[in-house]
Amino acid sequence: MNETHVTVLGNVATEVSYGETSGGVPMANFRLGCTERRYDRQRECWVDGETQWLTVTAWRALAVNLIGSLAKGDPVLVSGRLKVREWTEGEAKRSRAEIDARSVGHDLTRGTSAFRWATGVRGQPPGGAGPVGAETGSEPVPDWIVNALEARKAAAVAGAPRLPELPPGGRPLPGEWGGVSEREIGGEEQAMPE
């Protein structure tokens, strides 16, 4: 396949618009402004260059998650397949660059972001409609996270001392979670993902 895959850094320039195809497939899009920054040696300062405007389109689970995650002005990284759409208006030829997004995330060099799992416990989507599979493109929540969350909930209900919060960055240290081993949390010791 001769596809052009790109990763682009820019700012969300419009509100995310959401819709569904006639077949019920979720779809979202927004405009992305990408402004070049370069150092002007004569003036000895950084200056803005030309702004490129792209349309970002997302499908299925990514489209649904964009609605609750992005706002106009947010700095983002978008990775996906580059497409150039061409059409004719009267005698003028027009074109527009688009990205069929595979992944979208906040640019953490410019701020912080708090991640929330889109799926429920044990791979169930919100509402428990059934396992998440290829139709949504989502992956289930890993068992080690489910076990930790269940242990935290059980400890709070039983009035036991609360398990410590996750360390900065939200990832447990390899081999343990807040000073509690996986064996104590989920019964079966397993390797933490790196």
- The CB density around residue 106, as the number of other CB atoms within 10 Å, is 18
Domains of the chain: 4-110 (2.40.50.140), 143-186 (no CATH)
Average pLDDT over residues 175-192: 40
Q: Is the pTM above the cut of 0.85?
A: no
Tokens at 3, concatenated: 């596809």
Whole-number pLDDT of residue 53: 94
Lowest mean pLDDT among 16-30, 67-81, 94-108, 169-183: 169-183
Q: pLDDT band for 119, please (50, 70, 90 cuts).
A: low
> pLDDT tens, 56-108?
999 998 998 998 899 999 999 999 999 998 999 899 999 999 999 999 999 99
Whole-number pLDDT of residue 146: 63
Whole-number pLDDT of residue 104: 96
Could you give the CA distance from residue 96 to residue 26 in angstroms, rounded to a whole number? 22
Lowest mean pLDDT among 3-12, 36-45, 135-144: 135-144
To which residue do tokens 């895959």 refer? 5
